[in-house]
Amino acid sequence: MRPNLGSVQLAASAAWTLSGNDIGTMITAAPRLYPHMWSWDTAFISIGLAHLNVARAARELETLLGAQWRNGMIPHIVFSEGTGYFPGPERWGAAELNADAPNSPRTSGICQPPVHAIALRRIVDIARSQGEREVAFKLLKSAWPKLYRWHEWLVRHRDPLGTGMIAIVHGWESGMDNSPRWDIPYAAVNPGPDLPAYVRLDRGLVAEDAERPSDAEYDRYLWLIEEMRKVRYDADAVVRTSSFLVGDVFVTALFALASEVLATLGEESEQPAWQIRQLRGWARRSRAAVAASHDPLTGLARDRDLRGDHWLSTSTIAGFAPLLCGGLPIDAEKAMLATLTGPDWAGHPELFAQIPPSVSPNDSGFRPREYWRGPVWPVIAWLFGWAFEQRGWLSESDHLRSECLRLAADGSFAEYYHPVTGEPLGSRQQSWTATVVLDWLHCPPG
């Protein structure tokens, strides 16, 4: 039978998970499958940590920001001394090839979704509510300029059309690695005969191979790294040459949301007015780009393949991006929210809990065990829940929170879950699952 922990036990178990993943220099994303620090994982990890120890949360975020490249990019992986993950620092060769990459710690050469300002907002609010104003203020002062530079890097190097649509050069940058969103753009990535041989280490660390991307997908992931190595990770050259270049509507929405959040944090900490104005301007432009991607036929937002120069209409959870950042006409927004909570998505009658899965159970491509092709990801639900709360949609946000807690009550803190059975999948004791659970447990319904 599925275990069903009460909230005190669940919170203790989440805290225990985090301390188990704490290797002294960082909290790793997961014990075996991911023995390093991942950019957006760490943003979520620091939110949960703040409930346990604000200073520790600040340190975690600062560790990530300490690995920021000199040009402003926050790398997607900050490597620990641990081994056991492929591709590791040698395969990336970032510091060897690009003078902007730090030598220590070693990092990968791409980025992940810009959710860090949202984490900073949460940590500052939690710190204030605990009377830790001094720690909050110090963190705000040190992190803000770094996050500003990160957002500026995205605008400068990842908005190739100048429309506000933020582009990614690798599926890993979306955080939704093998989502069907990327099937068409990946079909145009042709690994060359000079792809160096490699051995995957992720297989064997999950119950079934089908829970991870396929070998053909991995060849493409690795080939894109080879392409980037050839131009020494020069940001503009990568955008010019990568065979994968996609305007990512979900990343763009997060960027718009996080830029607004960062602007407000800037006002609270007396940052330069021109930078705050700039952030609001970037937010406006990216919000408009998200809204412009709205497909009247499906009612969802779309990614844009910038190599093939066409919209990608694959229906996934990312299509609800406008609900994160706003910007749609009110009727379209209402219809989108109704779709998200309706029978095609979170309200599907067969689901274990009313949480939107990564792909609709009614979609022909729905694969309930296959990584980003169907399972439920608690962190994605957290993002929607948090955004809904900001937007004043309290009953929707509370409902998501209680359904997610019901799903997570098995105490596995799985990386993702089977949407129909609630079975834990992928890694167990995944840090970011433990931390969003901690945040939900500490926040009584609005």
- Which residues are catalytic, by number? 177, 415
Asked if 384 is part of the footprint of ligand 9WN (rule: CB under 6 A), the reply reads no
Q: Which is nearer to ligand 9WN, 45 or 95 (CB)?
A: 45
CA quadruple 18, 446, 424, 363: dihedral sign: negative
What 3-state DSSP class applies to 424? strand
- Round to whole Å and give the CA distance between 324 and 327: 9
Asked if 403 is part of the footprint of ligand 9WN (rule: CB under 6 A), the reply reads no
Asked if 244 is part of the footprint of ligand 9WN (rule: CB under 6 A), the reply reads no
Asked if 100 is part of the footprint of ligand 9WN (rule: CB under 6 A), the reply reads no
The stretch among 9-17, 35-43, 203-211, 389-397 that binds ligand 9WN (CB under 6 A) is 35-43
The stretch among 147-155, 171-179, 300-308, 350-358 that binds ligand 9WN (CB under 6 A) is 171-179
Does residue 279 contact residue 260 with C-beta atoms inside 8 Å?
A: yes
Does residue 248 contact residue 166 with C-beta atoms inside 8 Å?
A: yes
Asked if 115 is part of the footprint of ligand 9WN (rule: CB under 6 A), the reply reads no
Residue choice 69, 150, 153, 172 for contact with ligand 9WN (CB under 6 A): 172
What is the DSSP secondary structure assignment for residue 74, as one 8-state letter?
P
- For helices 54-65 and 116-129, the axis angle rounded to 10 degrees is 160
Asked if 227 is part of the footprint of ligand 9WN (rule: CB under 6 A), the reply reads no
Burial class (CB in 10 A: 0-12, 13-18, 19+), 122: buried
Strand 37-38 versus strand 310-312 pairing type:
unpaired
Least separation in angstroms between CB 76 and ligand 9WN? 6
Q: Which of residues 117-156 bind ligand 9WN (CB under 6 A)?
A: none
Respond yes or no on whether the N-terminal peptide bond of residue 368 is cis (omega within 30° of 0).
Answer: no
Which H/E stretch holds residue 312? strand 310-312
Instruction: Please choose, from the candidates 435, 446, 356, the residue with its C-alpha nearest in 3D space to the C-alpha of residue 403.
Output: 356
Q: How many helices (H) and strands (E) does the chain have?
A: 18, 8
The stretch among 34-42, 56-64, 252-260, 293-301 that binds ligand 9WN (CB under 6 A) is 34-42
- At 377, give phi and psi (nearest 5°): -115, 110
Quote the radius of gyration of the chain (alpha carbons, Å).
Answer: 20
- Round to whole Å and give the CA distance between 411 and 3: 7
Instruction: Please choose, from the candidates 443, 388, 380, the residue with its C-alpha nearest in 3D space to the C-alpha of residue 415.
Output: 380
Asked if 177 is part of the footprint of ligand 9WN (rule: CB under 6 A), the reply reads yes
Tell me the one-letter amino acid at 434.
Answer: A
The rounded Cα 441 to chain-centroid distance in angstroms is 21
Residue choice 34, 223, 352, 384 for contact with ligand 9WN (CB under 6 A): 34
Asked if 40 is part of the footprint of ligand 9WN (rule: CB under 6 A), the reply reads yes
Asked if 38 is part of the footprint of ligand 9WN (rule: CB under 6 A), the reply reads yes
Least separation in angstroms between CB 377 and ligand 9WN? 8
Q: Which is nearer to ligand 9WN, 259 or 427 (CB)?
A: 427
Report the residue closest to ligand 9WN, judged by CB. Answer: 175
3-state secondary structure 337-377: HHHHHCCCCCCCCCCCCCCCCCCCCCCCCCCCCCHHHCCEC
Residue 83 half-sphere exposure toward CB, CA atoms < 13 A: 3
**Residue 425's beta-bridge partner residues?**
416
Q: Which of residues 49-88 bind ligand 9WN (CB under 6 A)?
A: 76
Asked if 218 is part of the footprint of ligand 9WN (rule: CB under 6 A), the reply reads no
Q: Which is nearer to ligand 9WN, 152 or 177 (CB)?
A: 177
Least separation in angstroms between CB 376 and ligand 9WN? 14
Q: Which is nearer to ligand 9WN, 29 or 126 (CB)?
A: 29
Q: Which is nearer to ligand 9WN, 38 or 366 (CB)?
A: 38
Asked if 175 is part of the footprint of ligand 9WN (rule: CB under 6 A), the reply reads yes
Least separation in angstroms between CB 336 and ligand 9WN? 24
Residue choice 15, 29, 239, 265 for contact with ligand 9WN (CB under 6 A): 29
Tokens 């010019």, located at residue: 240
Least separation in angstroms between CB 177 and ligand 9WN? 4
Least separation in angstroms between CB 287 and ligand 9WN? 23
Strand 77-78 versus strand 167-168 pairing type:
unpaired
Asked if 439 is part of the footprint of ligand 9WN (rule: CB under 6 A), the reply reads no
Contacts of 20 (CB under 8 A, 6+ apart): 31, 429
Q: How many residues bind ligand 9WN (CB under 6 A)?
A: 10
Least separation in angstroms between CB 128 and ligand 9WN? 28
Q: Which is nearer to ligand 9WN, 76 or 285 (CB)?
A: 76
Task: Please give the residue ranges that form the binding site for ligand 9WN (CB under 6 A).
Answer: 29, 34, 38, 40-41, 76, 172, 175, 177, 202
